[in-house]
Amino acid sequence: PVATDRKGSHGRLVVVSNRVPVPTSSAEPLAGGLAIALQAALKTRGGVWFGWSGKVSQDPDPALQVRTFGSISYAVSDLSRRDIDEYYHGFANRALWPICHYRLDLANLSARDASGYFRVNEQFARRLAKMLRPDDIVWVHDYHFIPIASCLRRLGCANRMGFFLHIPWPGPDIAAALPEYDRILRSLAAYDVLGFQTPVDAENFRDCLVHAKAGHIVDGGCCEAYGRRFQVDAFPISIDAEAFAQEARVAERNIVVKRMRASLEGREMIIGVDRLDYSKGVKQRIAAFSAFLERSPQAARGRVTLLQITPKSRSEVPEYAKIQREVAEQVGHVNGKLGDVDWTPVRYINKVMSQSALAGLYRVARVGLVTPLRDGMNLVAKEYVAAQSPENPGVLILSQFAGAAQELEQALIVNPYDVEATADAIARAFAMPLKERKERWSAMMETLRCNSVEAWTNRFLQVLSGDADLQEL
């Protein structure tokens, strides 16, 4: 029999994510549009944000730590070394992450990691089940916690549960390479609402169900599989464009921005901002910038600088350690070959920058280079657009393989694997007349105004609460 869960409930909201932005005081301002939007939703309904503390514990069974600020409780627990290795470094970041980013060549398939992943999810679910009230709605974020709903169902929880995947979901020919593929699909079917970044990701997931003969599509947004009926759709995530634009205006006075501007001494700047991850296409981007410089020595050499801000990420995972070495070597090579006594072509920074500094730097940059090889959405692309001055906006160069490209059609869209084409796009961006820059920017800004992160949160929660069907929205 096909079971669906109660609709129309308006209990608390329970957000589940691997990273939990636990504030240290109720007055602490939060960084990041998503955290702010989720916090706002939690505040309105009252609720719990549940997940990993980000810390390692010596204790094999670490206690849940709960801190409450007003109507929001943050409930986190540490993980043992073994759990972190198998669940986070292992299955989440060496199997799910590369495969969902179409990198079968970088996937490490380990039965031990897979079983650690399901074991840790089970532990989290047991803890969460003790806190859940019958009318709470549960919203799980991202690939670390796919099995939470199925674990909770086994423990008897009939709550409405939704899942949003922040990263891409590939078609069956790639997704089927996941260890425990059938168990992953079955786990996803335990939710009531499955949200993906783009219509293509949602379609890929439906294809996976059909291809695995696990179920069928009832109509546009509704699927039946593994004895359950659930909704599957795209919910493209966004930013608060007005707030970000305001931040960028104010950030002209930010000290980091002032220092950067002064150090440019009238040169033009291109900006790239990414976690140091092989999915971001940083190597291809630096190669494209180098090709652009080599082919236009008069126009560009000595006059353009690429500021690449790339905080290190997941360094304990071997594939990440490798890309860190490779990018560092490549930057050294390009700077050694093309640089001069008074000019460094690529300024490569592994530091984390504040949101204010980033907003101001985006505004200074004539070109935003956002060229991932594959990305669920990519909010840097959206932030770069929001940060521009309406009188003299810069140009966004955007990978066709970022989810954002399906919305920001007026960017210069490139194939990031094609180094020469990306170099052409950089040249085109610098040559673009002000009128065209303004037209492209206004259209993109309008798109961002129409889909704010707040609207995104509300739409997902409306569907999850059962207040609205997808077709109505």
Catalytic positions are 166, 375
Closest separation in Å from C-beta 329 to ligand G6P: 23
At residue 323, φ and ψ (nearest 5 deg) are -65, -30
Closer CB to ligand G6P, 18 or 108, in the complex: 18
**Which lies closer to ligand G6P via its Cβ, residue 57 or residue 313?**
313
Q: Of 439-468, which residues contact ligand G6P (CB under 6 A)? A: none
Contact (CB, 8 A) for 183 and 118: yes
Q: Give least dist CB 379 to ligand G6P, A.
A: 9
Provide the residue type at 331 as one letter: V
CB of 332 to ligand G6P, least distance (A): 26
Residue 151 identity: C
Instruction: Give how many residues touch ligand G6P by CB under 6 A.
Output: 7
List the interface residues with ligand G6P, window 354-413 (CB under 6 A).
none
Work out how close the CB of 141 gets to ligand G6P at its nearest, in angstroms, rounded to a whole number: 7
- Alpha carbon dihedral 38, 99, 318, 414, in 10-degree steps, equals -80
| Beta-strand relationship, 228-234 and 72-80 | unpaired
> Helix H segments across 339-433?
355-364, 379-387, 419-431
Nearest residue (CB) to ligand G6P, 44 versus 315 = 315
The vertex-467 CA angle with 461 and 470, nearest 5°, equals 75
- 64, amino acid identity: L
The residue among 49 and 292 lying less far from ligand G6P, judged by its C-beta, is 49
For the chain, the first-to-last Cα distance in angstroms comes to: 28
Dig out the tokens for 410 from the structure.
């007026």
Find the binder of ligand G6P among 89, 166, 280, 366 (CB under 6 A): 166
Find the shortest distance in angstroms from Cβ 84 to ligand G6P: 11
Closest-approach residue to ligand G6P (CB)? 166
Beta strands in 116-158 (DSSP E): 137-141
Taking CB under 6 A as the rule, does residue 19 contact ligand G6P? yes
314 in contact with ligand G6P (CB under 6 A): yes
Nearer to ligand G6P, 250 or 352 (CB): 352
Q: Toward ligand G6P, which CB reaches closer, 313 or 330?
A: 313
Instruction: For the CB of residue 387, give the shortest distance to ligand G6P in the complex, in Å.
Output: 20
Region 216-255 residues binding ligand G6P, contact defined as CB under 6 A = none
Identified binder of ligand G6P from the candidate list 57, 108, 313, 406, rule CB under 6 A: 313
Q: Which of residues 90-119 bind ligand G6P (CB under 6 A)?
A: none
Return the C-alpha torsion angle 78, 80, 83, 84, nearest 10: 70
Task: Using CB atoms within 10 Å of the CB of residue 462, give its burial: 0 to 12 exposed, 13 to 18 middle, 19+ buried.
Answer: middle
Given strand 222-225, what is the order of strands in its sheet?
64-69, 72-80, 47-57, 13-19, 137-141, 160-164, 193-196, 228-234, 222-225, 215-219
* Minimum distance, C-beta of residue 92 to ligand G6P, in the bound complex (Å): 8
AA letter at 427: A
Quick one: which of 142, 247, 274, 407 contacts ligand G6P (CB under 6 A)? 142
Q: Which of 290, 308 has the CB closer to ligand G6P?
A: 308
347 binds ligand G6P (CB under 6 A): no
Smallest gap from residue 113 Cβ to ligand G6P (A):
15
Closest CA to 358 of 256, 436, 430: 256
Tokens of 40: 């706002």
**Complex with ligand G6P: residue 110 or 313, whichever CB lies closer:** 313
Which residues in 404-423 contact ligand G6P (CB under 6 A)? Answer: none
Report in angstroms how near the CB of residue 373 gets to ligand G6P at its nearest.
Answer: 15
DSSP 170-227: --HHHHTTSTTHHHHHHHHTTSSEEEESSHHHHHHHHHHHHHTTSEEEEETTEEEETT
**Would you say 134 or 311 has its CB closer to ligand G6P?**
311
Q: Please, is 59 exposed, middle or buried when counting C-beta atoms within 10 Å of its C-beta (0-12, 13-18, 19+)?
A: exposed
Nearest partner of 432 among 363, 367, 365, judged by Cα:
367
d(CA 129, CA 150): 12
Binding site for ligand G6P (CB under 6 A): 18-19, 142, 166-167, 313-314
